[in-house]
Amino acid sequence: MSSRFSFITANLVAETLDYHMTDGWMQGDNATNEYYRPIETYEERFGAMLEKVKMLGFSAIDLWAAHLHFSWATLEHVETAKRLLQEKGMVARSYAAWVGDSSAELKATCRVCKELGMRYISGHIEFVNSDRTAAVEILRSFGVGYAIENHTETSIEILRARLGEGDEDVMGIALDLGWCGTREWDALEGLKELYDRIFTVHLKDVKAKRSEPTGYEFIDMGHETCLLGEGIVPVEAVLKELRRRDFRGSIGVEHEPEKYDPTDEIREGLSRAEKWWTEAEPVVENPLKVVIVGCGNIANAYGEALAKRPEIVVLGAQDLDTARAEEWVGTFGGKAYETLDEVLADDAVEAVINLTIQAAHFEVVSKCLEAGKQVHSEKPLAPTYVEAKQLVELAKEKGLRLSCAPATWLGESQQTAKRLIEEGAIGKPKLAYVNVDWGRIEGWHPAPAGFYKVGALADVGVYPITLLTKWFGPVKSVLADGAKLLPERRDKDGKAFELEREDWMSLVLEFRSGFRARLTASFYVGLVEGSNPAYEIHGDDGALKSNWFAATAPIELGKNGEGFKTVKLDSLPIGEGAWYCDWSAGVYGLWKALREGGAHPTTGEQAAHVVEVVEAAHAAIAEGRSVELESEF
């Protein structure tokens, strides 16, 4: 299933006409709108369309407006589309639409984009031509960009002039390679000259213009789309250039013949695109060779993320249950090591990624460091602060790197928020409100008791605590309250178990910098609407709010007395979706520091401090007082 390339649903423009679109594009546009408009059949028809796309090998779409038009889409239409995308494990990246000359149409279009998480409107917005200032303000308020399609421009210079300057955050290009061919300008040269303004790319090839008319609109204008690599556009060269530049915008496969079903050619085109993309993958001369130790649930997330990092080579995996290690390497590659000692005896292994259960962290990390291996560990670094401190000291003694999750604060959303705060966007920051409402684990996990043994604060609360301490420095003291609101739980098999830790805690953190935070962590709240990873940072002049987990999380920024506006992320994440985070970020940071020098971002010292914060919170509840911390980093 391809996650790098998306399917442009306008590929199906002629589908409702049985691929006999004899009266031009608008014939297919009108027929598709009429087919999808009725709410009574929308779920069935939109779902069937998504299933067809998924069967072709895509997990993402660039949604053509005729499949969910802003002029007729009701809340029920939008919610249905959103639910179907989620159920099928798919995302919508951009919205291909022709938007008229009114602010109302633009706002309606932006609402659809925001609801479905689409970053861009690709196509044409007439309102930009009549009132660009107002249009830009609307786009910024919704956090949606306008990707201008180069359908009419006959040169790179004309397209550059149309782009203008001063609103680059929301005004860019949807580079349509097919129209480059039709308008007779070099798509590769256009990519190089306009790269900084490209939001999305339409991967399309076209044949040379026929000498005789056929009666089909696009064929006769020289825009006869075809299988990628079979036409006049340098598609392969463009795609490889995008890969070399680490382009992270949407790359949509587009092929819209007027008189035949393109699905087989799109499937083959996707295969070619993936091959070209892989061939252009950068070669890393000195990658970090690692082994995964512990093949539980989180190991698959690490495996998927590490596979996207040429800087990291996974040699294999080890687990107490050898069958789990064998299953893991069967999916992600490498060797199944039988024991940890075997891993540590392998001279090819430079670093160990410790994903074992929390109770084993101290023993496993200690053995790895004693054996001379660099270490990246899942959180917490150790069950107790004393043990965490010992691991930090051992790593220093051995001259080794000790890295520890969470690394979610390295996400593109979180780094953008950090920059805004540091640049004074909200004035002097003084207070954070943080929610860690994670629902009831027994509702989804087959073995929930382990989570309740450590509690919501130690299991999940450490994510925002790590973020806050990275932004505002070490915590000075902790005041806390907590309770076992639902002390007896049942797993999915109905077996009862008693809580060992509070399932709700509320903390007041005072930082050495003077900053303060209120943080609530719960394995009780969040069952109705889902997990809540929200945070707010309040300053003298305004506030910023977002999500501390997802690298893709939208950021809302507001000045005192004004409303919040969505802010564009400084860069695009490698992945997508409302819950995306890069589980490889800490390991990548470790590789970079080892090869280039300097500190790695996810230090053992900070991880040990976070363990002490958690301990102090539980002590504060038990003793009914504020607890001072000793550690810094």
The pLDDT of 114-127, averaged and rounded, is 96
Span 545-589, pLDDT tens digits? 999 999 999 999 999 999 899 999 999 998 888 899 999 999 999
- The radius of gyration of the chain from alpha carbons, rounded to an integer in Å, stands at 27
Whether the predicted pLDDT of 527 surpasses 80:
no
**Residues 6 or more apart whose Cβ sits within 8 Å of residue 620:** 478, 479, 480, 507, 626, 627
Predicted confidence at residue 444, as pLDDT, reads 82
Span 131-142, pLDDT tens digits? 999 999 999 999
Instruction: With cut-offs at 50, 70 and 90, classify the pLDDT of residue 450.
Output: confident
d(CA 63, CA 254): 12
**Residues 6 or more apart whose Cβ sits within 8 Å of residue 418:** 409, 470, 471
Whether the predicted pLDDT of 2 surpasses 70:
no
Q: Tell me whether the omega of the peptide bond preceding residue 406 falls within 30 degrees of 0, making it cis.
A: yes
Q: Are 372 and 393 in contact (CB under 8 A)?
A: no
Q: Are strands 60-64 and 542-547 parallel, antiparallel or unpaired?
A: unpaired
Predicted confidence at residue 447, as pLDDT, reads 83
**Residues 6 or more apart whose Cβ sits within 8 Å of residue 165:** none
Predicted confidence at residue 3, as pLDDT, reads 81
d(CA 348, CA 372): 12
- Cα separations in angstroms, 170 against 93, 94, 165, 544: 15, 13, 11, 20
d(CA 578, CA 552): 6
Q: To the nearest whole number, what is the mean pLDDT of the chain?
A: 96
What's the half-sphere exposure (Cβ side, CA atoms, 13 Å) at 104?
Answer: 1
d(CA 515, CA 495): 44
Q: Are strands 60-64 and 91-99 parallel, antiparallel or unpaired?
A: parallel
Instruction: With cut-offs at 50, 70 and 90, classify the pLDDT of residue 493.
Output: confident
Residue 250's φ and ψ, nearest 5 degrees, are -70, 135
Instruction: With cut-offs at 50, 70 and 90, classify the pLDDT of residue 32.
Output: very high
Whether the predicted pLDDT of 529 surpasses 80:
no
Span 194-220, pLDDT tens digits? 999 999 999 999 999 999 999 999 999
Whether the predicted pLDDT of 443 surpasses 90:
no
**Residues 6 or more apart whose Cβ sits within 8 Å of residue 284:** 310, 311
The pLDDT of 341-359, averaged and rounded, is 98
Span 262-272, pLDDT tens digits? 999 999 999 99
Span 6-29, pLDDT tens digits? 999 999 999 999 999 999 999 999
> What would the CATH number be for the domain defined by 5-279?
3.20.20.150
Q: Which helix (H) or strand (E) holds 479?
A: strand 475-483
The pLDDT of 362-366, averaged and rounded, is 99
Whether the predicted pLDDT of 310 surpasses 70:
yes
Q: Partners of 505 in the beta sheet?
A: 482, 521
Q: Tell me whether the omega of the peptide bond preceding residue 38 falls within 30 degrees of 0, making it cis.
A: no
Q: Partners of 314 in the beta sheet?
A: 290
Query: If DSSP states are collapsed to H, E and C, what string results for 572-604?
Result: CCCCCCCCCCCCCHHHHHHHHHHHHCCCCCCEH
Whether the predicted pLDDT of 530 surpasses 80:
no
Burial code of 163-185, b = ≥16 C-beta within 10 A, e = fewer? eeeebeebbbbbbbbbbbbbbeb
For a pLDDT cut of 70, what percent of the chain falls above it? Answer: 100
| 167-171, 173-177, 524-528, 538-542: least confident range | 524-528
Predicted confidence at residue 135, as pLDDT, reads 98
Give Cα 503 to chain centroid, integer Å.
Answer: 29
d(CA 619, CA 626): 9
Predicted confidence at residue 446, as pLDDT, reads 82
d(CA 346, CA 338): 12
Q: Are 475 and 508 in contact (CB under 8 A)?
A: no
Instruction: With cut-offs at 50, 70 and 90, classify the pLDDT of residue 33.
Output: very high
Instruction: With cut-offs at 50, 70 and 90, classify the pLDDT of residue 243.
Output: very high
Instruction: With cut-offs at 50, 70 and 90, classify the pLDDT of residue 1.
Output: low
Residue 196's φ and ψ, nearest 5 degrees, are -65, -15
- The beta strands (E) that lie in 256-411 are given as 288-293, 312-318, 335-337, 351-354, 374-377, 402-404
The pLDDT of 112-130, averaged and rounded, is 96
Q: Domain 288-404 falls in which CATH fold?
A: Rossmann fold (3.40.50)
Q: Are 99 and 123 in contact (CB under 8 A)?
A: yes
Angle at the Cα of 371 (from 365 to 376), degrees rounded to 5? 35
Full-model pTM: 0.87
Instruction: With cut-offs at 50, 70 and 90, classify the pLDDT of residue 369.
Output: very high
Q: Are 487 and 626 in contact (CB under 8 A)?
A: no
d(CA 146, CA 149): 9
Q: 362: which 2 tokens?
A: 């101290």
Q: Are 225 and 206 in contact (CB under 8 A)?
A: yes
Predicted confidence at residue 274, as pLDDT, reads 97
What are the domain boundaries of the chain? 5-279, 288-404, 408-628
For a pLDDT cut of 90, what percent of the chain falls above it? Answer: 94
- Among residues 86, 142, 161, the alpha carbon closest in space to that of 577 is found at 86
- Domain 408-628: CATH architecture, name and number where available: 2-Layer Sandwich (3.30)
Q: 382: which 2 tokens?
A: 């150790």
- DSSP character string of 395-451: HHHHT--EEES--GGGSHHHHHHHHHHHTTBTBSEEEEEEEEE---GGGT-S-THHH
- Among residues 49, 160, 173, 184, the alpha carbon closest in space to that of 123 is found at 173
Q: Coil, helix or strand for 173?
A: strand
The pLDDT of 86-114, averaged and rounded, is 97
